[in-house]
Amino acid sequence: MTSPDLPPDLTHGLGVERARPIGGGDTAAAFRLETARGPLFAKTMADPPAGMMAVEVAGLHALREHAPEFLGVPEVVRWTDAGIVLEWVEEAPGPGRGGTEQEFGRGLAALHRAQGEAFGALVPELPGRIGSFDVDLSPTQDWAQFLLDRRIRPLMRDAVGAGRIDPGAADLLEEFAPRARELAGPEEPPTLVHGDLWAGNRLVDAEGRNWLIDPSAYWGHREVDIAMMLLFGGFGEECLAAYDAEHPLAPGWEERVPWYQLPPLLVHAVRFGGGYGDATTRALLRLRG
């Protein structure tokens, strides 16, 4: 028996005996599927934006292709426009992660060595999406302008238009716009980034292996992931130290963190309001030094 919330074409032929709802985020319904071959994970959306599932699947495939063996990425078992079925990852009980912090840092460093030909979409034919947000992901060689004109400025317009942030923040952003190239840091090749690397999108299984889930992957700059990891916490100092030892970050990366945190802060401001608008303004003010 399956849940009425699961589209039949998503689970057909998988031998699902029972579907149990589990926590799955703020926009999707998530389930543990019990099958004769073991458990599976399913995520569905009632009315997903066009191409959202296809983009996530492309991200999972790319991460699985380029991640080192010790950094897990769930296998895609089945997907449709309305949902995804993945292999089940049995999380470790309790909060302790021990030596997995260093291993995650080394694994992310190895993943970030994967390089593309241009900044932008993994599959240019798919709609431009990062999560549920539209974005222009057409290929470009200019990362600094990509970050400013395709991510930060559009999200700022959305946040101001929705009344989620003081309009003065947009003026403050324009104060820094002439420094966009400096704030983006030294030029680096296009890097495969997870794109939404907060602590909830990193799992540790019962054997201590790290896993990446729910990517908004694209060819970007690796400081995108580093800044996101630092925004909401959940990654130990040992993790970043191991990363930097394996794949050193460019000098001054700490000063660039507020610039790279603007997109996720603005996304949260648009979606949730609350204090995220003020947090965005504070990030801009930190750039003044």
Task: Decide: 139 and 120 in contact? Cβ < 8 Å.
Answer: yes
Contact 50, 191 (CB under 8 A): no
Enter the DSSP assignment of 95.
S
Contact 16, 2 (CB under 8 A): yes
Euclidean distance between CA atoms 31 and 57, whole angstroms: 18
Helices and strands (H and E) in the chain: how many = 11, 12
Phi-psi region of 223 (alpha: psi -120 to 50; beta: other; left: phi over 0): alpha
Beta-bridged to residue 192, according to DSSP, are 219
Q: What are the strands, taking DSSP E only, across the chain?
A: 16-22, 29-35, 38-44, 71-72, 76-80, 83-87, 129-130, 133-134, 191-193, 202-204, 210-212, 218-220
The answer to whether 244 is a known catalytic residue is: no
Listed residue (108, 91, 130) closest to 218, CA to CA: 130
C-alpha dihedral (181, 185, 190, 196), degrees to nearest 10: -100
Which residue among the candidates 5, 9, 158, 196 is catalytic per the annotation? 196
Residues with catalytic annotation? 196
